[in-house]
Chain A
Amino acid sequence: MSNLDTLESELLTSIENADSEAALEDIRVHALGKKGKISEQMKTLGKMSPEERQVMGPALNGLKAKITDAISARKTVLADAALEARLASETVDVTLPLRAAPSETGRIHPVSQVIDELTAIFADMGFSIAEGPDIETDDLNFTALNFPEGHPAREMHDTFFFNEKEDGERLLLRTHTSPVQIRTMRDQEPPIRVIIPGRTYRCDSDQTHTPMFHQVEGLVIDKESHFGHLKWILEEFCKAFFEVDDIKMRFRPSFFPFTEPSMEVDIQCDRSGGEVKIGQGDDWLEILGCGMVHPNVIRNCGLDPDVYQGFAWGMGIDRIAMLKYGMPDLRAFFDADMRWIRHYGFRPLDLPTLFGGLSG
């Protein structure tokens, strides 16, 4: 017995001290291999008396199992240690700054974003988006819109002209999006509900004017829409666009050749701080012009103004973008300064929706 005890303690000690899988394998062969110490002892069992065998058999088998388990346990310890050592050696500096994703660095221009916001609001009210060419005829830009020839109202438009053609026609760059009203009414049967965003041009350049700018215009033509509906649309629009619960508005009579009656609309604002805050305070800010479509305009589109009626409104897209998002200078809209685009632009995946909130 004492022999076996000695062997056991010898083997267990060497297993404990084994520092690699190879060393463990050597021990296994030394103990359990064909000519191993335990295997050799096992071979002697056959020559023993049954009594001796009764004692030695279980003892040897027990030893064999114990050593096998010890080797396996040591193997696991060694493997864990090796894995840990490997992992430790694989450590990297996770604080290293990474490149931003392209979808994080790209930006949408505020004008595009605001047009998408307008689309979201007015699509909900059943409007579609109409468009027209930038190069227009004098007829569509002025005459059909009831601007009399030579009237001072025409001059107020600071029109860009092209050179007169041989047949006397002189094309121009549209000074407002209103020619699309005419195009729409001539092409489409009422009821009509459209908004018309687009580029417009006036020969004017200073702190607050650029020779190119963006307008959006709305047009409703049917047999019953009146100024009360217009008022409601504009109130709902302002609340939705500026994302405020309530906003005071003021409608003032004004004059546009293509509407009668005509109104200008002011919204409540606060100018007391450095910037203009919409929907609070007791100051007024003019944001749009509107009115009932002039009977002459309806007639010019081949419709009977005693049957059809409706209204139109128009405002500056750049201007309402400035009011909502706080850009101080209109001219910067067209300068493509990366710093400005990064600061005032919008992320590509921030598509405005009414259900998700226009500005997220």
Chain B
Amino acid sequence: MKFTLSWLKEHLETDASLEEIVDRLTMIGLEVEEVTNQADRLKPFRIAKVLEAGPHPNADRLKVLKVDTGEGEPVQVVCGAPNARTGLVGVLGKPGDYVPGLDITLSVGKIRDVESFGMMCSERELELSDEHDGIIDLPEDAPVGMAYAAWAGLDEPVIEIGLTPNRPDCTGVYGIARDLAAAGLGKLKERSHEQIRGDYPCPVTVALEFGDTKPLCKSFGLRMVKGVKNGPSPKWLQDRLTAIGLRPINTLVDITNYITFDQGRPLHVFDADKVHGNLVVRRGKDGERIDGLNGKSYEVDSSVCVISDDNGVESLGGILGGEPSGCTEDTVNVLIESALWDEDGIAATGRKLGVNTDARYRFERGVDPDYMMPGLEYATRMVLDLCGGTPSEATRTGDIPDSSNIIEFPYSEIKRLSGIDVSPAEANVTLKSLGFWLSGSGADVKVAAPSWRPDIEGKADLVEEVVRILGLDRVPSTPLPRMGNVNRKVLTTSQVRRSKTRRALAARGLNEAVTWSFIPKSQAERFGGGAAELALANPISSDMSDMRPSLLPGLLTAAQRNADRGFGDVALFEIGQVFQNDKPDGQKMVAAGVRRGTAKLAGAGRHWSGSSQTVDVYDVKADAEAALAAIGAPVEKLQVFTEAPDTFHPGRSGSLRLGPKTILAVFGELHPRTLAELDIEGPLAAFEIFLDALPEPKSKGGRSKGALNASDLMPVRRDFAFLVDKDVTADKLLKAARGAEKTLIADVTLFDIYEGQGVPEGQKSMAIDVILQPRQKTLTDEEIDAVAKKVIANVEKSTGGSLRG
């Protein structure tokens, strides 16, 4: 919402400075977004007169002008505008002047060998409008030599406020003045619109025809004025509109635009001679069309409210007038409309047809119903004053709905919600100055909201009105009482897990990324998603169309982006939500990471101490295990399965499970097909940890770690090497060794794997170190041999291998 300072002062008697006004507007909730003064920008541009427009010797389309600047000798200007002519009064820019619309500073130039000492400007060049068909053409009596901005009434501050959607009353300058007056910044000037007596009945009738459907028009006021003289509106009116960025059209249209911004009351004018028969306000019919005043054509249907005559649709009610019945300079008889439209209907139609107009903006927020007829009177007065003519009687079709809302208001509510002590007297003054009615006395009163405040619903709204006008500075800052002495744990298990995983993974050299929750459909499908219920109906682009079923597509493509920038050795991770379905419990928390190139734990790239190899399945298995350990998963009990999703390399991937069914993590090198489908390059290895899959920790019991059971006796170590088939897993062999003897074997580690000379084809040698921990007494050789035999027997039995001789 834009207005000028002088326009505001038309309604508000005040001595306050611009700064005070701007500040107060912001502090009462009408936030000032910008204060501009067009004159600052247009300072150097002066009114000048073309004394002579002669032909250019070298170009047919150009003219050589002799221009009177109001001082000194006339200057020579080369001009290509079609409307450049002898006698034209326009606006001149001289060498050194900055032309905002072109973003250039003028200099003396030669155009086709003729010197030019300036430029006659178009409106677009001065950023006044988009008009660029010719140079500015001012009335002949415009004073040559005067600063153009001052003459055009542009030399004053234009204030723009960012209006919140609850304040339709401030879509007019008058409403803004009322708020400022209530806030003590001056006195609101009375508005009173005399009722104009009509000389004859309005010859056009109005019918509201909605049948059984919801009426999209509540009430409709109409009046004819015959014998008007339309034409350009007076300069003061044009200046007002220009100052806030509106284009003057003709007096009748300008009057409606003026009242729209002055009172927040949109109106429409029909050229009565172009209206055929009577007006019917109704729902549109399929196939009907209207050519709007904005030059665009719209198709309507039964959700759209239209005003029609015998010819068909003449107007999109409350949004946009139609071109065929619009007022032109030739209009002699005019119909003035002031109506009340259904807010939801206006919003729905505006959305559907994609039309944004000043009328829609106001009607969808809710205009003052009680001002419908006064608005019509105001418009009639202006038409009579500026265009003459004889008015008909005003007609009204449909009742104006009763907007009154009586609120029981205990004054104590102010203190309860805001914490401020406000006396009833002070509250009363504030509410009354905003137009509220109060009745009763004592601790509770009855308050009625004015018709222009549809946002006022209940007590809390009244508290806001009082506090807003008195100033939020008066609210005392009050410490929030503590709830207990020492705070308890506030994070949930899921939150703790995320936090620990995050720090554990970062401590392994991985860098945390945050990638989009939506990914391309093809990627979603590749990673097990892409269900219809998880596809956005209105994605911002096809690359962000489906909710991600996995974090990996986002991380893998991010790794590739880094590689494309020249950083191929990257280790990235993300902790975030993935979507299995559209239910709240279909959203799961996952930690995932990718390592690319040589970004291994020890570091990436070449180094004197040993260059890194490319990343592989073991790097990401280690990441997954470390993260699971960090969140308290029983790592020693986890089972390693060789099965993993088909996005991974089938022979270089696996999963970590708690029992055979609960998958806590998957890891591995990526399948070459996955890379090809994502259009990325490896080497890449990745892991995903399903944080929600780990059961809740047991909350029972204390935090005691139990006694340390450390033996005084030296552990004994024995090495064994087994020849096994190549496909025997380490897990199988180690499990067999560990399980051979439960009390003495403290640990088994695999320290060598060998294939090649000395080992039969299709087999491998695996060497293990078995640590025996005696508890009560030192072990005898016989006891050690007995354990060794059990180890050998158990391993041979479960792997089918044999001890290597």
Interface residues of A (CB under 8 A from B): 96, 98-100, 102-103, 105-109, 111-112, 116, 119, 123-129, 131-135, 149-153, 155-156, 160-165, 170-171, 173, 191, 193, 199, 201, 203-205, 211-212, 220, 225-229, 231-233, 235, 251-255, 260-264, 292, 294-296, 305, 309, 333-339, 341-342, 345, 347-349, 351
Contact call A161/B419, Cβ cutoff below 8 A: no
Return the contact of B508 from the options A102, A123, A173, A351 (Cβ within 8 A).
A102
Tell me the bound Cα distance from A48 to B512 in angstroms. 95
B83 at the interface (CB under 8 A from A): no
B539 at the interface (CB under 8 A from A): yes
Contact call A105/B603, Cβ cutoff below 8 A: yes
- Nearest CB of chain A from residue B190's CB, rounded to whole Å: 26
Residues of A within 8 A of B28 (CB): 253
Contact call A335/B561, Cβ cutoff below 8 A: yes
Contact call A163/B499, Cβ cutoff below 8 A: no
Contact call B602/A201, Cβ cutoff below 8 A: no
Residues of A within 8 A of B555 (CB): 336
Tell me the bound Cα distance from A116 to B547 in angstroms. 26
B135 at the interface (CB under 8 A from A): no
Contact A203 to B477, CB < 8 A, known contacts A261-B460, A309-B416, A336-B555: no
Tell me the bound Cα distance from A100 to B609 in angstroms. 12
- Nearest CB of chain A from residue B571's CB, rounded to whole Å: 8
- Nearest CB of chain A from residue B250's CB, rounded to whole Å: 31
Nearest opposing residue in chain B for A205, CB measure: B540
Given A96-B609, A150-B348, A253-B28, 17 additional A-B pairs, CB 8 A: A102-B507, A102-B602, A107-B512, A109-B513, A126-B482, A131-B494, A135-B583, A161-B536, A162-B536, A211-B518, A212-B516, A228-B476, A232-B477, A232-B480, A252-B472, A253-B27, A348-B506
Tell me the bound Cα distance from A96 to B610 in angstroms. 13
Determine which residue in B164, B364, B487, B533 has the highest number of CB atoms from chain A within 10 A of its CB, and name it: B164
- Nearest CB of chain B from residue A204's CB, rounded to whole Å: 8
Return the contact of A171 from the options B348, B459, B582 (Cβ within 8 A).
B582
Residues of B within 8 A of A191 (CB): 483
Tell me the bound Cα distance from A139 to B538 in angstroms. 19
Residues of A within 8 A of B561 (CB): 335-337
Q: Which 6 A-B pairs have the closest CB atoms?
A: A253-B29, A228-B419, A102-B509, A261-B464, A255-B164, A348-B506
Stretch in B288-296, B430-438, B562-570, B672-680 with 4+ CB within 8 Å of A: B562-570
Against A, the Cβ 8 Å flags (1 = close, 0 = not) of B448-474 are 000000000111110110011000110
Interface residues of B (CB under 8 A from A): 26-29, 31, 164-167, 343-344, 347-348, 351, 364-365, 415-420, 457-461, 463-464, 467-468, 472-473, 475-480, 482-484, 487, 490-492, 494-495, 499, 502-518, 532-540, 544, 547, 554-555, 558-559, 561-562, 565, 567, 570-572, 575-577, 579, 582-584, 586-587, 601-603, 607-609
Contact call A254/B365, Cβ cutoff below 8 A: no
Contact A252 to B487, CB < 8 A, known contacts A134-B587, A228-B476, A295-B459: no
Contact call B480/A233, Cβ cutoff below 8 A: yes
Tell me the bound Cα distance from A342 to B418 in angstroms. 45
Contact call B506/A99, Cβ cutoff below 8 A: no
Nearest opposing residue in chain B for A296, CB measure: B457
Return the contact of B579 from the options A109, A135, A150, A220 (Cβ within 8 A).
A135
Contact call A108/B506, Cβ cutoff below 8 A: yes
Contact call A264/B31, Cβ cutoff below 8 A: yes
Tell me the bound Cα distance from A171 to B602 in angstroms. 46
Contact call B587/A228, Cβ cutoff below 8 A: no
Contact call B537/A163, Cβ cutoff below 8 A: yes
- Nearest CB of chain B from residue A137's CB, rounded to whole Å: 10
- Nearest CB of chain B from residue A327's CB, rounded to whole Å: 13
Contact call A124/B584, Cβ cutoff below 8 A: no
Residues of A within 8 A of B511 (CB): 105-107, 338, 341-342, 345
Nearest opposing residue in chain A for B532, CB measure: A163
Contact call A252/B26, Cβ cutoff below 8 A: yes
Contact A229 to B478, CB < 8 A, known contacts A107-B512, A124-B487, A251-B472: yes
> What are 10 A-B interface contacts by the 8 Å CB criterion?
A135-B583, A227-B420, A252-B27, A253-B468, A334-B514, A336-B513, A336-B561, A336-B572, A337-B562, A348-B503
Contact call A106/B29, Cβ cutoff below 8 A: no
Contact call A309/B417, Cβ cutoff below 8 A: yes
Tell me the bound Cα distance from A109 to B591 in angstroms. 14
Nearest opposing residue in chain A for B482, CB measure: A126
Tell me the bound Cα distance from A294 to B459 in angstroms. 10
- Nearest CB of chain B from residue A242's CB, rounded to whole Å: 17
Tell me the bound Cα distance from A203 to B539 in angstroms. 8
Return the contact of B472 from the options A123, A253, A341 (Cβ within 8 A).
A253
Tell me the bound Cα distance from A339 to B587 in angstroms. 31
Tell me the bound Cα distance from A13 to B514 in angstroms. 80
Nearest opposing residue in chain B for A194, CB measure: B490
- Nearest CB of chain A from residue B258's CB, rounded to whole Å: 24
Residues of B within 8 A of A341 (CB): 511-513
Tell me the bound Cα distance from A252 to B472 in angstroms. 7
Nearest opposing residue in chain B for A234, CB measure: B477
Contact call B165/A153, Cβ cutoff below 8 A: yes
Tell me the bound Cα distance from A164 to B538 in angstroms. 12
Return the contact of B577 from the options A111, A134, A229 (Cβ within 8 A).
A134
Contact call B603/A108, Cβ cutoff below 8 A: no
Residues of A within 8 A of B570 (CB): 338
Residues of B within 8 A of A261 (CB): 417-418, 460, 463-464, 467-468
Tell me the bound Cα distance from A124 to B483 in angstroms. 10
Nearest opposing residue in chain A for B584, CB measure: A133
Return the contact of B537 from the options A123, A151, A162 (Cβ within 8 A).
A162
- Nearest CB of chain A from residue B318's CB, rounded to whole Å: 14
Residues of B within 8 A of A225 (CB): 480
Tell me the bound Cα distance from A153 to B343 in angstroms. 13
- Nearest CB of chain B from residue A52's CB, rounded to whole Å: 61
- Nearest CB of chain B from residue A217's CB, rounded to whole Å: 16
Residues of B within 8 A of A127 (CB): 490
Residues of B within 8 A of A111 (CB): 514
Tell me the bound Cα distance from A243 to B27 in angstroms. 27
Residues of A within 8 A of B365 (CB): 152
Contact call A129/B537, Cβ cutoff below 8 A: no
Residues of A within 8 A of B567 (CB): 338-339
- Nearest CB of chain B from residue A105's CB, rounded to whole Å: 5
- Nearest CB of chain A from residue B215's CB, rounded to whole Å: 16
Return the contact of A151 from the options B347, B490, B534 (Cβ within 8 A).
B347
Tell me the bound Cα distance from A181 to B571 in angstroms. 37
Contact call B416/A109, Cβ cutoff below 8 A: no
Tell me the bound Cα distance from A333 to B477 in angstroms. 35
Determine which residue in B460, B478, B503, B516 has the highest number of CB atoms from chain A within 10 A of its CB, and name it: B460
Contact call B608/A201, Cβ cutoff below 8 A: no
- Nearest CB of chain A from residue B282's CB, rounded to whole Å: 20
- Nearest CB of chain B from residue A343's CB, rounded to whole Å: 11
Contact A336 to B562, CB < 8 A, known contacts A99-B603, A103-B509, A251-B472: yes
Nearest opposing residue in chain B for A195, CB measure: B490
Contact call B460/A107, Cβ cutoff below 8 A: no
Tell me the bound Cα distance from A99 to B343 in angstroms. 67
- Nearest CB of chain A from residue B89's CB, rounded to whole Å: 42
Contact call A232/B416, Cβ cutoff below 8 A: no
Tell me the bound Cα distance from A116 to B503 in angstroms. 12
Determine which residue in A204, A252, A261 has the highest number of CB atoms from chain B within 10 A of its CB, and name it: A261
Contact call A292/B495, Cβ cutoff below 8 A: no
Tell me the bound Cα distance from A135 to B580 in angstroms. 11
Residues of A within 8 A of B344 (CB): 149-150
Residues of B within 8 A of A112 (CB): 502, 512, 575
Tell me the bound Cα distance from A48 to B230 in angstroms. 160
Residues of A within 8 A of B458 (CB): 295
Tell me the bound Cα distance from A152 to B360 in angstroms. 11
Residues of B within 8 A of A333 (CB): 514
- Nearest CB of chain B from residue A102's CB, rounded to whole Å: 3
Contact A129 to B490, CB < 8 A, known contacts A98-B609, A108-B512, A162-B535: yes
Residues of A within 8 A of B540 (CB): 160, 203-205, 211
Return the contact of A231 from the options B477, B492, B516, B559 (Cβ within 8 A).
B477
